[in-house]
Amino acid sequence: MSPPARLSDLPRAELEALLVELLGELADLKRLVAAQRDEIARLKGLKGRPSIKPSGMENATEPKPGGKGLKRRGRGKVTPRVAAETEVLRVAPPKGSLLNPGRWQPARVGFAE
């Protein structure tokens, strides 16, 4: 294929077709060069290019299917391990204490008022 005299004289459709053809040819040449580099390294006894696998992080950045409708379940009702019991103990007041309305107070011994 001979290059045209002036690219500006070509219509847009032909320019786009030429561009697609050249980009395809460029990709083929890049693959050929990479294959030749691998072969040269193999013939020299060097290590080839490492095969790098995708990390999977690309998938983590996309939202999961299901959208907002998917909710986490709560913990549920918490059951106590020991039953809570209230037990009222009746005890006699200690000796030397006085009974005030509603509360116990120790007697004051040795204080002058």
User: Amino acid identity, residue 44?
Assistant: K
How far is Cα 60 from Cα 54, in angstroms, rounded to an integer? 12
Residue 110: which pLDDT band, with cuts at 50, 70 and 90? low
The stretch 82-99 carries a mean pLDDT of 76
Q: Does 104 score more than 80 pLDDT? A: no
Higher-pLDDT residue of 30, 82: 30
pLDDT of res. 81: 83
- Mean pLDDT of all residues in the chain? 78
pLDDT of res. 70: 59
The stretch 45-64 carries a mean pLDDT of 74
The pTM of the full predicted model, rounded to 2 decimals, is: 0.39
Helices (H) and strands (E) in the chain, counts: 2, 2
Higher-pLDDT residue of 28, 82: 28
Q: Does 67 score more than 60 pLDDT? A: no
- The tens digit of pLDDT for each residue in 9-28 reads 888 999 999 999 999 999 99
Q: Does 102 score more than 60 pLDDT? A: no
